Structure 1
């Protein structure tokens, strides 16, 4: 990850191969910034884009009528400069995740009660 010519961090990818408490072979990507560790704003931007709360049109990232920036790094920087918007997106992502978890748990309960 660069800010102009200066390298400010790296994009990391981690893969869990063997795990006793969770499904194996899961992959996670995140930004590791030199000055502050893992970038929460980058993670929120990625998850919000995947969940379609943030639209990507070419290189531009848009949230509703607000243009976050051209390119992922500028959109991430915009979110860091606007903590209220970052918190709003974070809450939407968390709410969507909680809703998905509750749907999956209810499906497990309905399918797991069978004595066939």
Structure 2
């Protein structure tokens, strides 16, 4: 019947675009939310949010920022992002650009995140 695809699938994902990532008027990518609707091989009903940059894929720098703020490694006060005594930037896009321009800092924060999780 009409439910065969839903029934026989092992994994089903609900993928939604939350917002566009823009540089002025130019659209660079999308903020995306994924919900696991069905999973026969792992725990279902999980959620994930990440940035997809067109032509590049999932943005590693935005993941480092989001996870760093959530873990308390990166401090966010107002629009400013800072790590230890280093200011990463004012606003999310500026902080992401700083991590792109300084991969050593991004790698150090990523190593701390891996050690804490």
Name the TM tier (shorter chain): 0.7 to 0.9
Which string of whole-angstrom CA distances, capped at 9 and with x for unpartnered residues, describes residues 49-88 of structure 1? 1000000001111111111111111111110110000000
How many aligned residue pairs are there? 97
More strand by share: 2
- CA deviation after TM superposition for structure 1 residue 21, in Å: 2.6
* Residue number in structure 1 paired with 2:69: 49
* Residue number in structure 2 paired with 1:28: 48
Residue segments in structure 2 that go unaligned for 5+ positions in a row: 1-20
* Residue number in structure 2 paired with 1:68: 88
Q: Aligned-pair RMSD on alpha carbons? A: 1.0
Alignment equivalent of 2:36, drawn from 12, 16, 21: 16
- CA deviation after TM superposition for structure 1 residue 89, in Å: 0.5
* Residue number in structure 1 paired with 2:12: none
Q: Give TM-score scaled by structure 1 length.
A: 0.79
Structure 1: 4+ residue segments shifted above 3 A: none
Q: Give TM-score scaled by structure 2 length.
A: 0.78
**SS at 2:39 equivalent:** coil
More helix by share: 1
The 2-side partners of 1:17 and 1:35 are apart by: 27
The 2-side partners of 1:37 and 1:92 are apart by: 23
